[in-house]
Chains A and B, each alone.
Chain A
Amino acid sequence: MTPAPRDRILDATLTCVARVGLGKTTLDDVAREAGLARATLYRYFPGKQPLISALVAREAARLGADLLEATAACRTLEDAVVELVTTAVASLEAHAALQYVLLVEPEVLLPYLAFRRADDFLREASALVAPALEAFLPSDRVARAAEWLVRVVQSYACSPTAEVDLNDPVSVRVLVTEFVLPGLVPSNMLGVTS
Chain B
Amino acid sequence: MTSADPLSLRDRVLGAAYTCVTRYGLVKTTIEDVVKESGVSRASIYRQFPGGRDELLHATVAWELARYFTELADAVRDAPDLAHLLEDGLVFARRSVREHEVLQKILETEPERLLLLLTTEAAKTLPFIAAFLHPYLDREAEAGRLRPGVDPDHAADYLARGILSLIGEAGRWDFAEPSQVREVVREELLGGIIAS
How would residues 121 to 160 of chain B score, 1 for a CB under 8 Å from any chain A CB and 0 otherwise? 0110010000000000000000000010110001101100
Q: Are B191 and A187 in contact (CB under 8 A)?
A: yes
Q: Which DSSP category, helix, strand, loop or mixed, fits chain B's interface?
A: helix
How far, in angstroms, from A177 to B171 measured CA to CA in the complex? Answer: 24
Contact across chains for B192 and A178 when beta carbons are under 8 A apart: yes
Chain A contact-residue range equals 35 or more
Closest to A112 in B: B115
A186 touches B187 (CB 8 A): yes
A118–B119 contact, CB under 8 A?
no
Q: Number of contacting residues on B, CB 8 A?
A: 36
Q: Which DSSP category, helix, strand, loop or mixed, fits chain A's interface? A: helix
B170 and A119: CB pair below 8 A? yes
Q: Within 8 Å CB of A161, what residues of B?
A: 157
21 A-B residue pairs with CB within 8 Å: A110-B112, A110-B119, A113-B119, A114-B168, A115-B168, A118-B169, A122-B171, A144-B172, A148-B188, A151-B161, A156-B161, A159-B126, A179-B154, A179-B158, A181-B192, A182-B147, A183-B188, A184-B187, A184-B191, A186-B191, A187-B191
Interface residues of B, Cβ cutoff 8 Å to A: 107, 111-113, 115-116, 118-119, 122-123, 126, 147, 149-150, 154-155, 157-158, 161-162, 164-166, 168-172, 187-193, 196
